[in-house]
Amino acid sequence: MNWLIYLIGSNAANQPMCYCAPIAIVEADDAEAAKEITAKRTPVYANQFLRAVTEDDADPDDWNAVSDLDALARSHAEGEKCFGCNKPAERADMAGFWCDDC
């Protein structure tokens, strides 16, 4: 199942404001596994922690915001072009590159 991951906590000890943001949607069997997957991809500092909620429990606005970000990241990767001649990337993981001709 899919989990929406929130990053919770302040960035610095002297910042009283709670920082709480939806950062990812991951597929995992349970909430603990979802948080482990996210922690491998995202730096989580000592005063921060992750919270995983199911799609049913997530705020639809938060869910959609992260879905849009994921879609944007994918479409960006697919649209990567050579810095020199704008030749499109042959693979989606060729993020920002120089082609053989440039």
Q: CB nearer to Zn ion: give 63 or 97.
A: 97
Q: Which residues are at the interface with Zn ion (CB under 5 A)? A: 82, 84-85, 87, 99, 101-102
CB of 46 to Zn ion, least distance (A): 44
CB of 98 to Zn ion, least distance (A): 6
Token reading at 33: 């596994």
Give DSSP secondary structure letters for 48-84: EEEEEEETTTS-HHHHHHHHHHHHHHHHHHHT-BBTT
Question: How distant is the alpha carbon of residue 70 from its chain centre?
Answer: 7
CB of 74 to Zn ion, least distance (A): 23
